[in-house]
Structure 1
């Protein structure tokens, strides 16, 4: 049968594991039957206050268990195909993405960690003219502003390096620490030489920020932390504005650097500031005047972009078969954070690492075909 001319391969796929669905539902039925038997047994002995309390506890745990079954009743695996999206006509009309990064205390949230987040966001595999990064410094720290300027200077080398060598881990500190097992080209001689050069630049960048941190601890007063004027600085907009005016050719789109903006709102001890929620409101107002992207990605200051393709993969799901996406098909999901700084003696799995144990996209891709 001939394929219609206007048809195209889907940008995403969903695979339902039938054996896993059956196993989960059988286990749920057995569990529900056993719990029902226990509750019925306790109901026959409600004359005792202790039995009534135990029955109430059982009902509470049963309710919590029912809520936990939502993800197990019909488990699915999703796969995104960014290469199909980039090869389709939708590439020319990809919506903009504003990455909003928030930080509030340079003592608890070191500037180097914040800058790793900023640089990793700038290195996302997304057309540079449609990607913008905004950093909210709620402390108004001169150190954070200086570090942001230096971060952009480093990003001018780091972002092209990630694009050229298909780096999968755009977080520089983790990449140079050896978390680059998925980077197939790292063994080539030219790539290895360039990697050494970029690493030397990163070590210089890291040393400059650490030295500036030591100096600020002696010069920055507590009053300056709590009371400061508003400050908005476009760290670099030349590439972004040039792309928006269409002065670059389409084949130079990947060479465009994302827009980077530093924002520090005015804060006074006598006025409520609503913490990071208030900071995000300010970022949204600033971004609406500059890039006004249709999508916003909010990152805390210590969150890393583990995959450069994450933004494109999200667009594969949002743009698949819908233009624009119907509101009833979209939802806001707050995904849990995986923690790395817990005690080694933690016995309650507070690091939440088990949630992230999933099959790779490659295995999902094979399962979908």
Structure 2
């Protein structure tokens, strides 16, 4: 058994550089804070001088904006960049002394997460530049699909050829799906034919929804495996654990050992809570503890393939550093996405969340957990800071790891026990052990709680992306994903582990504020909804909400708006973004505030008072051909009758109509520009961001146009708001 901690010299394994702009960012935070205080003072004095209803919503909006701005400032106080040296690690630590590694891959729906995509992810990590006898890959199938298992039975056979092929050709991209779709992969005819044959068999089974005898090679082992599936449903079945490859027995075509490959479908019972992905990951922690018990655990989304076979070595440059290893919980790699169109119309790379803010948190206790691409010290998931070799797999956490063959009856029996529905009853799983329950965003919640328990983390962002996956490429899915995150974050915000109390007390002030920034993400809906509707409606009825151009207070508003946007643009450009991508990113931020944050906050509030709403939907990784073509051309897709699009359409119509009427009035009445410039600007700015919405509502004829009923409802809703404005501002 290999200890996690060796004796390499930490100074030669990695370096850290603090952002040289950090001192200037702190000065900027102070100056902007003074501007916010002056703005709030102006609000209060204006209201006291002339009490009325109109200033109150704007005061609320600005208070929330100030609150969210303040929570996010620590991200910019000590941003750091790291660099690691995996070659030095190998020089200092012999490959035979590298710690064992368990990889967890979770999938839940074979129709939204195609099995061949999951297979390609698994094959890419099985081909890591890492000792194969120290590598185990666990696939959690929460959908309980025999087609997914069949895909991995086929993948186990294909791996015998694929892994040697990757080594002999020095491939960097070791996902067969990605490799064979590239121009380079087209030259590997034999391997490509093998992969295509496997893919056709799996996709044929997926279309039927079951595996037939013709799909199988009909070995006794296969027959035994698939007999077990009769009568199962994805919501009610016993635990299923299949060792498809065993390193001590199975070899590739060159005679080298293959990694362990284990399929796990935990027991499901409609009367037992399953805790979504967190429950699946905790099952994998226990099953792997019984079977392999590697001290390092990598969690991966099912579509997030390895793009750099040396990524485990990069993570170990930190995990094997004795200066930090005792309290280092995980090393987080950022999420990168393939196939984003040139200008990233849906803001899919989430540059601020996955890159900019993570570097900021890394200057304190380390980045939050992003749910994928994360190398954990297994001990951190055990709930204690004791020896990393402490075993895990039983209620008292004292039972040693099983030795010998993974297929031994005693090993499999114990693995089935820890994968049962009732195993966690009466234990601390999900509270202080494993991935934490109580939130849809188990990754955020778990990383936050680990930091509160004294653990640290590292953000590892090498030049070549270590992992690459799929982002939602239609607008409804993109907004739906953020809505789910908003709900999960709010669940943390109102729990006893509120970052503003528990987080600041148990981690630090900057860390607590940063986590609170995410926890209260849903509150963006308040200022964005108010600013989307109140100023344009007041403009129509010539009700001034902001200072005139001739008023000195006007320049305070101009400063606060321009400084915030220019700072955001500068951060974006410094993180290798473009102006066009930044424009789309800020546009989608406003769209999320009006849709994802608003609907997520409402759904959270309903759940909180006991009104049942849908809890979790898997984001689809499947994309229709026409939809893909529109995305590649940079055309936003509004082709489904989504309530998200109704509110976006309503906002677009309200702001366009108010802007046109405001300009028309300003051309006739000279003083209107002086009185209403801020409201004219806001309506025009929103209208400029809504150009794709107007095209989808009135000009486009393709499948991505906005459905006629959504357009009609949006126009009627805008008219209704104008009517309400009449009562608010005139009557």
Instruction: Using structure 1 for the length normalisation, give the TM-score.
Output: 0.77
What is the total number of aligned residue pairs between the two structures?
332
Structure having greater relative contact order (Cα 8 Å, sep ≥ 6): 1
| Structure 2 counterpart of 1:226 | 235
Structure 2 CA distance, aligned partners of 1:56 and 1:207?
A: 57
- Does the 8 A contact of 1:15 with 1:78 survive in 2? yes
User: How is 1:1-369 mapped onto 2 (pairs within 5 angstroms)?
Assistant: 10-18=12-20, 20-47=21-48, 48=51, 49-89=53-93, 91-178=95-182, 195-216=188-209, 224-237=233-246, 239-240=247-248, 255-322=256-323, 325-327=325-327, 330-331=328-329, 337=335, 349-353=347-351, 361=463
| Cα 1:98–1:38 shift into 2, 3 Å | same
| Alignment CA distance shift 1:62-1:354 (3 Å) | closer
Distance in 2 between the 1:283 and 1:154 partners? Answer: 24
Aligned-residue offset at 1:113: 1.1
Aligned-pair distance for 1:141? 1.7
Residues 141-164 of structure 1, C-alpha deviations (whole Å, 9 max, x = no match): 221111101112222222222233
Q: Is the 8 A contact 1:235 1:260 kept in 2?
A: yes
CA distance in structure 2 between the partners assigned to 1:296 and 1:307 by the alignment: 17
The CA deviation string for residues 97-153 of structure 1, in whole angstroms up to 9 with x for no partner, is 211111122122211111111111212222212211001112322211111011122
Moved more, 284-293 or 89-98: 89-98
Tell me the SS of whatever aligns to 2:17: strand
Deviations 1:307-360 (A, max 9, x none): 2222211111221243x8122xx2458777556799999866255256667985
Cα shift readout 1:239-293 (whole Å, capped 9, x = no counterpart)? 34699xxxxxxxxxx9432110011222232333333222222222211111101
Provide the C-alpha distance between the structure 1 equivalents of 2:340 and 2:96, rounded to a whole number of angstroms: 44
The 2-side partners of 1:242 and 1:204 are apart by 22
Q: Is the 8 A contact 2:241 2:265 kept in 1?
A: yes
Structure 1 287/12 Cα, relative in aligned 2: closer, same or farther at 3 Å?
A: same
Q: Which runs of 5+ in 1 are unaligned?
A: 1-5, 181-185, 187-191, 244-253, 363-369
| TM-score relative to the length of structure 2 | 0.41
Compared CA separation, residues 129 and 75, structure 1 to 2 (3 A): same
Tell me the CA shift for residue 170 of structure 1: 1.9
Cα RMSD, aligned residues only: 3.6
- Residues 305, 76 of structure 1: CA spacing in aligned structure 2 closer, same or farther, 3 A cutoff? same
In structure 2, do the counterparts of structure 1 residues 335 and 114 end up closer, same or farther at CA, with 3 Å as the change threshold? same
Q: Could you say what secondary structure the match of 2:12 adopts?
A: coil
Q: Aligned residue for 1:251?
A: none
Cα distance in structure 2, aligned partners of 1:337 and 1:140 = 27
User: Whose Rg is larger?
Assistant: 2
Instruction: Give 5+ residue unaligned stretches, structure 2.
Output: 1-7, 213-228, 357-460, 465-731
In 2, Cα distance between equivalents of 1:156 and 1:143: 21
SS for the counterpart of 2:140 is strand
2:171 & 2:211 partners in 1: Cα distance? 38
Separation in 1, partners of 2:315, 2:332? 14
SS in 1 for 2:234: helix
In 2, are the aligned partners of 1:79 and 1:361 still within 8 Å (CA)? Answer: no
